[in-house]
Amino acid sequence: MKNIPEIEIENLSITFKIYEKGLIQKNIKTISNLCLKAYKGEILAVVGSSGSGKSLLAHAIMGILPKNATVTGSIKYKGSELTEKRIHNLRGKEICIIPQSVSYLDPLMKVGSQVMIKNNKSCFEKMRNAFKRYDLCENAEKLYPFQYSGGMARRALISTVEQTEPSVIIADEPTPGLDKQMAYKTMKYFRDFADKGKAVIIITHDIDIAVQYADKVSVFYGGTTLETTKAENFIKGEKYLCHPYTKALYNALPQNGFKPVEGFQPSPYDVFEGCIYYDRCDIRCEKCKENIPIYNFPDGSGFVRCINGY
């Protein structure tokens, strides 16, 4: 059954309970009605502007959201619900995350020894091999995170997934701060990993590099997915992309003329009805103020959330 996704997310919403000005409690919905599927043998690139909820999605899968977060909707792994107890047993073993920044490293532990998940010979060798591949010398093993550059930290974080043999890797912006060559090397590693029949979710701002290696691209905006489409459509051209925001992202790429997207992403503090892209959309109409259904592509490769999209 190839068609059961490794990770399948349906109508995921994440709400934070926060206290404003003393004791006034407020719920802010940072992610709403998010849908995503990651298949075996595929790389899914998640793109979207800063603050669109990409890291939260990754943390929701791993079960490491803060206590004041409420999650609704469903997250499935290999076809069955990923309960709190289940992710507890799976994380770090079958599902691994590569976090976003150096702050995820223990500041008081030498990087080499914290990359090793256990203090034994096989973990040591795996660590050393990974470090070698990412040009981290033996001396780098003995340094503390504060002695690392941003790029080095990222490579060390990437090395952590090689400690175990996961079937799903979620990489939260693995490439910024790396030079071109290193970025390609990293993407190549994920490609090989996917080709071995595993699933990879890469969160990235680097649409350019991502579309060269990924199979599908999922476009995030204001805490939801606006479109999931084949990566090749980003290379083929604008008319293969459906959502106005996806098209805008496409046109903002350097080779397509750098056209900036006007306006701002709505903040999770604003309550929304209807299409979340309404304010910035060129082709909006009255109907866009109502609930926007998802339109699934006939070949099953993705979907778009726009009434004029398909």
Partner 1 sequence: MNVIKIIFKNSIRMITLLIAVAIASFILVTSSPIDPVQSYVREGVAVSAEQREEIANYWGLYNSPIERFENWGKNILNGDMGTSLIYRKPVSEVIGEKFQSSIILMSISWIISGILGFVLGVIMGVFESSKIDKFIRNICFIISSTPSFWIGMMFLIIFSVKLGWFPIGFSVPIGVSSDNITFSQKLYHAILPAITLSFSSFSNIALHTRAKITEIMKSNYILFAKARGESLFNIIKRHVLRNALIPAVTLQFASISEIFGGSILAEQVFSYPGLGQTAVDAGLRGDIPLLLGIALISSIFVFLGNIIANILYAVLDPKIREGAKYSE
Ligand X SMILES: Nc1ncnc2c1ncn2[C@@H]1O[C@H](COP(=O)(O)OP(=O)(O)OP(=O)(O)O)[C@@H](O)[C@H]1O
* Contacts with ligand X, residue ranges (CB under 6 A): 16, 18, 30, 50-56, 66, 100, 268
Amino acid residing at 163: Q
Stretch of 59-67, 196-204, 239-247, 270-278 contacting partner 1, by CB under 8 A: 59-67
Distance CA 110, CA 103 (A): 14
Residue 27 CB, nearest approach to partner 1 (Å):
19
Give which of ligand SF4, ligand X, Mg ion, none residue 107 binds (C-beta under 5 to 8 Å, depending on kind).
Answer: none
Supply the DSSP string of 17-78, one letter for each residue: EEEETTTEEEEEEEEEEEEEEE-TT-EEEEEE-TTSSHHHHHHHHHT---TTEEEEEEEEET
Q: Which helix (H) or strand (E) holds 224?
A: strand 224-230
Tokens 């490579």 map to which residue?
Answer: 155
Q: Which is nearer to partner 1, 46 or 156 (CB)?
A: 156
Member of 101, 251, 296, 308 binding partner 1 (CB under 8 A): 101
Residues 124-183 that bind partner 1 (CB under 8 A): 144, 146-147, 160
Residue 80 CB, nearest approach to ligand X (Å):
26
103 binds partner 1 (CB under 8 A): yes
107 binds partner 1 (CB under 8 A): yes
Confirm if 80 and 7 have CB atoms less than 8 A apart: no
Residues 206-245 that bind partner 1 (CB under 8 A): none
122 binds partner 1 (CB under 8 A): no
> Cβ atoms within 10 A of the Cβ of 190, count?
24
Q: Which residues contact 172 (CB under 8 A, 6 or more apart)?
A: 54, 55, 58, 97, 98, 99, 100, 203
Member of 78, 86, 91, 191 binding partner 1 (CB under 8 A): 91
> Cβ atoms within 10 A of the Cβ of 226, count?
26
Give which of partner 1, ligand X, Mg ion, none residue 53 binds (C-beta under 5 to 8 Å, depending on kind).
Answer: ligand X
